[in-house]
Amino acid sequence: MESEQSLKPAFEPWLDLKNALDELNIDYKAADFTEEKMFEQFKLKSEEPNLHFWQKYRFQDLIAIMNVHKFWESEPIMLYRHKLKEGEIKQIKPTDVPEEQTPLPQGFEWANFDVKNDEEVDEICKFLEDHYVEDALGNFKVSYSREKFRWAVQTHYYTPELHILIRNSQNKKIMAIATGDPKKFVINGKVVKMVEGNFMCVHSKLREKRLAMILF
């Protein structure tokens, strides 16, 4: 007999969101649509006593990943309700990018890391395990080994300067991390140079310090 764990459906956020909206008859294009109402309906649905465990889990995860955060609302990204259009979301001239480091709040400092240093990599892996990926119920986290982390960051265009940390300036503990991977994308026949961000993570107790915006 199959266990309940084996019956868990694959979690595909955008497809699950569409299905959830259809299931609850929510029209996000309606004039009176608000995300607050949508999340409230998701919350009520997840609390139904006879709802299957994985259905409850699905709605709770949707609430967690789709919940509007003031950080993302202030950034030049496309949200699910926006009409997609071709071209740069925001044009930035190279001359507008400051050459000096962005000042950090008091008590924090910039740092790079040596991916060949076992001690540093172990520290980063532990930080990611504690603060990077977690499901809505707190039951699932991702654990990285030295080898897996190095494989992920040492790509073909590996650029050490794009792998950065923010540390506590007193005890030197990691407070945030972000890595960047230069890539070339072909979009409608045009080669576009970009940097793909990865492992962007801020200590769970510092999410209101807006360190993620500074990392970007």
Could you report the per-residue pLDDT of 60-118, keeping only the tens digit for each? 777 666 655 555 666 666 665 566 667 776 777 878 877 788 888 889 999 999 999 99
pLDDT digits (tens, 9 = 90+) for 142-169: 788 999 999 999 988 888 888 999 999 9
DSSP of the chain:
---TGGGPPP--HHHHHHHHHHHTT--TTSTT--HHHHHHHHHHHHT-TTS-HHHHHHHHHHHHHHS--HHHHTSS---TTSPP-SS-SS---GGGS-SSPPPPPTTEEEEE--TT-HHHHHHHHHHHHHHT-B-TTS--B----HHHHHHHHS-TT--GGG-EEEEETTT--EEEEEEEEEEEEEETTEEEEEEEEEEEEE-GGGGGGTHHHHH-
Q: What is the value of pTM for the model shown?
A: 0.60
